[in-house]
Structure 1
């Protein structure tokens, strides 16, 4: 029996297969595309290598791409027919159970099983990062923090992957609202490994959640070679850069980056980032018809089958932005039929029913100019939008849609409340003060509106 780079026994692997597996884990922690080649090389050396097959399954099932999931399901099923599970060590059998749950669409059970593996084997890097991604996909901030936090003391500061574990922990801390600690841990992660894109990403999130857009721009500008290309997260990191530039009011810069880095997205995650950025512009009246049309054309194949409600929302955004309301309504109708089927244990069914469908219906209502309906759909769920995944920064598109609909429908009291909440958390956000100006105008408070606009301008100019 071999031992992996983190000291854990692995069965059914030649020395060469174990080396490829170790390299694959390293590439995965760096979010580099080479992870697929190394995982395939491990299985080419030892086709029945249990942890190699587990890794390949996680890679296929956690991308939120239907085709990847279909391929992973067939490949893992063939492996299960060949393997004698009873002969495998307990840790590997536990991973097989976690993958089975994921194959069944049960994200929550998979996450719980991975948590049990991490508790028993805190240096199982695959269990840790797969569980971290499950927590992200389900929007579970507490688990994002505590899954990694509970394993942290088992990792030595001299371990080559200690910094990557810190990067994961920093993101969990940020999503759980511990911004000062998140910044500290994230900066340390990047200090240990300058190309830890998840750590860089965690620091960017921390600045976003505090409205520190100037710090965000400076931080990313100083590290462009480390995050801007060569990883699964390059496009997403450019999206974060654009959020900071939007706060600074630099729309031309945002559109230039969109065309250079986001417009030709090749995955659902990249299309999602493009839609989320254009939707923010759409809410402010900056229409982008050609960009929307191209983006809308890219979605149909990716949402032909229900898989992840968070993706559905961004497909609907794209259809609405492109003026293809009929396509948006067809997607919604297909998801209504999907949840009506029941499918017990499939996490995405609950995500779709409780959050996905109300949000998608609200986006269509916004596109139709029925802002009162938007408020009626989004206000009851605004504190549980996390249930269909993503980060606080990503889900802010929903909160901004609610705020804009409240302003446009004349729901002044609600708009005032929403803006007050935002300013209390992020008082240095120009966007928040511009919305405060809009609220003041709605109440006929012209002097207060002028003061709020002046505050927004001063903050934007302070970058």
Structure 2
């Protein structure tokens, strides 16, 4: 039988591989076309193991419960097709896929990266592992893997720029901002359409308080990121945060309406952008008018899901903002059952951080003294430090409102260890004069 895995593994054979390469390129650039290309590849070669596996991965990473059946079907086809494949990278994909199906993202990344010792320049395995560690909040693992890849790859490899983009993001999440900026710029030199590297630089500008520079950078790279899939909404989200920091609320809201949440969507990434943006404005006392309305119905539909606690917590924020307290409590009851019964990564995240934060958001969390400990556990939710900051801001605001100066000071000090003085810290200190600015360097 024909061996299918495309030039990503160093071999090319047939039209099906060209379609597979198109899919991997879409994965690398965060552009449209991944699933259609995989469907074309499978139509040409129904026994294309890697194509079935990548389809399953792409569905599972959307974290939508209703897609699980389709994802499992694709995974079963990948297993059935494995007898026609070179069992190496394909076996790694299949075994990692099984781990993802069972809620074990970090172990799945481990399995993919183990295969990289035999196939060090296999971009697909590297990128999938990077995505899994990002969703699992494994910053240390993400950095270790990208550091190794950069040292093992040749700069002449066509995907090296995208590997650098991943490395830049891992460096940024580790707080290595200067190095992250250098690597991101190198990535964009080699791969100008590297949206993930561009995104890493957006994070650096935010953490260093370079709002004007960040806004201008995003504006200058519009030809790149506006070609992305819904990742373009997230880049616009970064630009709107720069506007908030600069006091340009009207401009930020204009970006929200036109580029962050232009049409209703229940993709968790779009929801995270929209909800965290509006909630940040709420914490600053800025009226978002009726923009919560389309998010409310989505929250009622999705909040009780436990596929990804990061996503579900954003729905709880929506319920709090729209005063749907009874529905929020019902969702948290569902989370509690997962905490009691589950042994997946998401159950662990719910048990150690998500449930407690959800309870705090709806006013059922009791004393605020445990908030600093919760903030330390936030990486369990996955996502980036910038995305998780909405929960840090929420905990700090709740502590301030409760008059718990000790907890507020601890939260602000911890937050300031990762980022420069910003609008939220200035306002928190102004509203709580007992918190000295020197305590939040």
Output the TM-score relative to the length of structure 2: 0.92
Residues 1:431 and 1:148: Cα distance change in structure 2 (over 3 Å): same
Task: Tell me which residue corresponds to 1:5.
Answer: 7
Q: Is 1:136 aligned to 2:129, yes or no?
A: no
Gaps of 5+ in 2: none
Task: Tell me which residue corresponds to 1:73.
Answer: 72
Given that 1:170 and 1:186 are in contact with CA atoms closer than 8 Å, whether structure 2 keeps it comes out as: yes
Question: RMSD between aligned alpha carbons?
Answer: 2.3
Q: Describe how 1:27-426 pairs up with structure 2 within 5 A.
A: 27-80=26-79, 82-83=80-81, 85=83, 88-263=86-261, 264-266=263-265, 267-303=267-303, 305-340=305-340, 342-344=341-343, 346-365=344-363, 373=366, 375-376=368-369, 378-423=371-416, 425-426=418-419
Q: CA deviation at 1:87?
A: 7.0
Deviation by residue 1:382-414 (Cα, 9 ceiling, x = unmatched): 111101111100111111112112221111233
Task: Give 3-state SS (helix, strand or coil) of 1:156's partner.
Answer: coil
Query: Hey, what's the Cα distance between the residues in 1 that align with 2:39 and 2:278?
Result: 37
Q: How many residues align?
A: 435
Q: CA deviation at 1:90?
A: 2.7
Residues 1:427 and 1:78: Cα distance change in structure 2 (over 3 Å): closer
Given that 2:313 and 2:354 are in contact with CA atoms closer than 8 Å, whether structure 1 keeps it comes out as: yes
Given that 1:43 and 1:49 are in contact with CA atoms closer than 8 Å, whether structure 2 keeps it comes out as: yes
Task: Give 3-state SS (helix, strand or coil) of 2:30's partner.
Answer: coil
Of 346-355 and 300-309, more deviation after overlay is shown by 300-309
Q: CA deviation at 1:296?
A: 1.4
Moved over 6 A (4+): none
Residues 1:86 and 1:223: Cα distance change in structure 2 (over 3 Å): closer
Task: Tell me which residue corresponds to 1:15.
Answer: 14
Given that 1:30 and 1:231 are in contact with CA atoms closer than 8 Å, whether structure 2 keeps it comes out as: no
Residues 1:425 and 1:165: Cα distance change in structure 2 (over 3 Å): closer
Of 109-118 and 413-422, more deviation after overlay is shown by 413-422
Q: CA deviation at 1:75?
A: 2.5
Residues 1:39 and 1:214: Cα distance change in structure 2 (over 3 Å): same
Query: Hey, what's the Cα distance between the residues in 1 that align with 2:329 and 2:359?
Result: 8
Given that 2:187 and 2:194 are in contact with CA atoms closer than 8 Å, whether structure 1 keeps it comes out as: yes
Task: Give 3-state SS (helix, strand or coil) of 2:8's partner.
Answer: coil
Given that 1:20 and 1:41 are in contact with CA atoms closer than 8 Å, whether structure 2 keeps it comes out as: yes
Of 373-382 and 48-57, more deviation after overlay is shown by 373-382
Task: Give 3-state SS (helix, strand or coil) of 1:373's partner.
Answer: coil
Task: Tell me which residue corresponds to 1:456.
Answer: none
Gaps of 5+ in 1: 453-463
Of 183-192 and 284-293, more deviation after overlay is shown by 284-293
Deviation by residue 1:98-141 (Cα, 9 ceiling, x = unmatched): 11111112212212111212232121111111100111111111
Query: Hey, what's the Cα distance between the residues in 2 that align with 1:99 and 1:409?
Result: 45
Deviation by residue 1:153-190 (Cα, 9 ceiling, x = unmatched): 33222222211111111001101111101000111111
Of 417-426 and 428-437, more deviation after overlay is shown by 417-426
Given that 2:412 and 2:425 are in contact with CA atoms closer than 8 Å, whether structure 1 keeps it comes out as: yes
Residues 1:277 and 1:105: Cα distance change in structure 2 (over 3 Å): same
Query: Hey, what's the Cα distance between the residues in 2 that align with 1:79 and 1:3?
Result: 12
